[in-house]
Amino acid sequence: MPIAAPRPCNHPGCGVLVRDGTGRCPKHPKKSWAPAAKETKRVTGRRLQAMRADLFKRRPLCEPCEEEGRVTLATIRDHRIPLAEGGADDPSNEQSICGPCHDKKTKAETARGVRRAWGNYRDG
């Protein structure tokens, strides 16, 4: 007599019935837990305000817009390499950027993060 009622494997796209109560078929075992990579600590407070003011004095225009031949006032201090991807929170990794360019860049970074997260579910 089975311990649990048969249910579909909870791996996305797999419909194999699992009867042992684990939720996964033998082809899709759960990965063992591993700690997430350490994210760089963000600069905050007055130090961040000073860094922003210094950046906008040096680079008042949006850098991606300048590369495309447009002149747009920068309003955001952005990290070239995101902190979540291992970038540093210092002047070597900062750029001045406008809102629309920041939104576009954030959308691309989010898509990369989703692909990384779902990469664990690919069949090997």
Q: What is the pLDDT of residues 69-104, one digit of tens each?
A: 999 999 999 999 998 888 899 899 999 999 999 999
CA distance 26 to 37: 28
- pLDDT of the residue at 36: 64
pLDDT in tens, 25-75: 888 887 777 666 666 788 999 999 999 999 999 999 999 999 999 999 999
Q: Label the pairing between strands 76-79 and 94-97.
A: antiparallel
pTM for this model (two decimals) = 0.65
Domain ranges for the chain: 59-119
Phi, psi angle pair for 38, to nearest 5° = -70, 125
- pLDDT of the residue at 78: 95
